[in-house]
Amino acid sequence: MSEATSSYKTATSDAPTSRGLSWRQKAARSPITKAILHPAITLLCLLILFALIFFGTLYQADHGLFEAQKKFFGYGVVLIGGFFPLPAASLVIWVLSVQLAVMMAFHLPWKLNRIGLWIVHAGIMALLVGGFITQVMAVESQLTLAEGETGHFTTAYHEHELAFWETRGDTNMVFAFDESMLKPDRELDVTPYHARIKVHAYYVNSDAFTTRATNGPKYINPSGIGMLEQRKPEKEVTQNAPGLIFTLIENGKPDKEILLYGQELQTLNLTMDGKKVSVQLRLKHYPLDFSLHLTDFVKNVHPGTDIPSSFESYAELGEGGSTRPVKVWMNNPLRHAGYTFFQASYAQAQGMVEKSTFAVVTNPGRVMPYVSSLIVFGGLLLHFLIKLVPFIRRESAK
């Protein structure tokens, strides 16, 4: 009996107790932590990402890049084949990010000889954070300039807005509604001109006709358009032509029935609150804090062909009353004030002024992939050196 009792006491004294564990060790043994860090979750997430990329690529062929990105790489649920649900890519990446954060908080040892691993994991986390910043805050737009023309704003590729503006000197004072606000039966205040609008219809894609519908209202339109017909959205969203019908309400009374079409170049000129106001359904504008003046566009072709070998834009960047010459060409963008201007395309018709188109990107997370790569590389190098020194010592002692 005494031997059995003694043996029992020895066994229990060697067993780990919760009193001797740190808070990290206790958290690491928690069922919740174990469930979050289960390898099956990581493997499943990687398989889901593979499936989303595969089916998203197939979907893009029929529905366009934008629709594929929105459906497969957002935060919703994707029905593969119309019936099998999968979480979209952003949700999956969030799960992997949580796993990484929990592992760093509770499992990665707080030891000096593991500092390299900490740096590596911090670099991976920085990469994920950078991707989130890019997804939420990056803005892509474009700027097309003819030779001799100056640009003060860029335009979106496919997002539209209803804009009201008046010109004061060389400045346009703009008040605009994003297309997401143009819902049927919604009333919106045009605050600067003490007016309101009531939206009757907004079509993401439409056809315009100069004839008026039988017994339909007579709309005010700068191009003589009398009727819109809704169409199915194009798979490439840049090819959509939106249409808008609304009532302008001034002094509390419905005043004008207005029809605007997204592809008309003319602006509607009105008098509102005693001021001359221009109104247009247009691509969304992003004002610049500086100007870009295109002085010359140069296209070089392969000998004996019309195939361009290179094309480049010579421009002047104006800011704060001063200007400086800049050059933008393929794979050599202009970076200034958080904007990146890429040479994207050009237009050159016989007898016409040459035009240059820039793809413009503002991305606060632009440097994060570079920074995170350096962090990961530094962590791996440090961890290698930490392991190398003891190895050399052991080999020298033999």
pLDDT tens digits for range 16-38: 555 667 888 888 888 999 999 99
Radius of gyration of the chain (CA): 31
Predicted TM-score (pTM) above 0.75: yes
How many C-alpha atoms does 71 have within 13 Å on its Cβ side? 20
Specify whether the CB–CB gap between 199 and 182 falls below 8 A. yes
With a cut of 50, say whether residue 138 has pLDDT above it: yes
Q: Give the pLDDT of residue 10.
A: 41
pLDDT at 17: 53
Q: What is the pLDDT averaged over residues 266-290?
A: 95
Q: Which two tokens stand for residue 152?
A: 């003060």
Looking at per-residue pLDDT, the higher value among 211 and 295 belongs to 295
Sign of the Cα torsion 240, 241, 245, 251 reads positive
Compute CA distances 188 → 181, 246, 278, 328, whole Å: 8, 10, 17, 42
E strand or H helix at 284: strand 275-301
Give φ, ψ of 354 to 5 degrees: -70, 145
CA–CA separation, 106 and 83 (whole Å): 38
Tell me the HSE value of 362 on the side-chain side, using a 13 A CA sphere.
17
Residue 7: pLDDT over 50: no
Residue 111 DSSP one-character state: -
Ranking 66-70, 276-280, 328-332, 341-345 by mean pLDDT, the lowest is 66-70
> Does residue 251 or residue 91 have the better pLDDT?
91
Amino acid identity for residue 298 in this structure: V
The average pLDDT across 307-325 equals 91
219: helix, coil or strand?
Answer: coil
The residue with tokens 């900490």 is 118
Pick the more confident residue, 236 or 263: 263
Of 58-72, 127-141, 263-277, give the lowest mean pLDDT range.
58-72
Q: Are 78 and 87 in contact (CB under 8 A)?
A: yes
SS3 of residue 203 by DSSP: strand
Q: Nearest-CA neighbor of 368 among 116, 138, 141, 133? A: 133
Q: Output the pLDDT for position 240.
A: 94
Q: Enter the tokens of residue 367.
A: 């440097």
Q: Can you give the pLDDT at residue 349?
A: 66
Euclidean distance between CA atoms 157 and 286, whole angstroms: 11
- Look over the chain and give the mean of its residue pLDDT values, rounded to a whole number: 89
- Is residue 163 within 8 Å of 175, Cβ to Cβ? yes
Please state the φ and ψ torsions of residue 98, each to the nearest 5 degrees: -65, -45
- The Cα 144–Cα 347 span in angstroms is 9
> What integer pLDDT is reported at residue 193 of this predicted model?
94
Where along the chain do its domains lie? 23-137+368-397, 140-150+287-362, 159-286
pLDDT band at 6 (very low <50, low <70, confident <90, very high): very low
Contact 230, 265 (CB under 8 A): no
Alpha helices in the chain (DSSP H): 2-14, 23-28, 31-36, 39-63, 65-72, 89-106, 115-137, 368-397
Average pLDDT on 117-125 reads 94
For range 54-69, the mean pLDDT:
83
Backbone angles phi, psi at 222, to 5 degrees: -70, -15
Percent of the chain with pLDDT over 70: 93
pLDDT of the residue at 1: 41
Please report, for the chain, how many H helices and E strands are present, in that order.
8, 18
Does residue 225 carry a pLDDT above 80? Answer: yes
Least confident of 65-69, 154-158, 236-240, 288-292: 65-69
Angle at 42 between CA 36 and CA 46, to 5 degrees: 150
DSSP 158-184: EEEEEEEEEEETTEEEEEEEEGGG--T
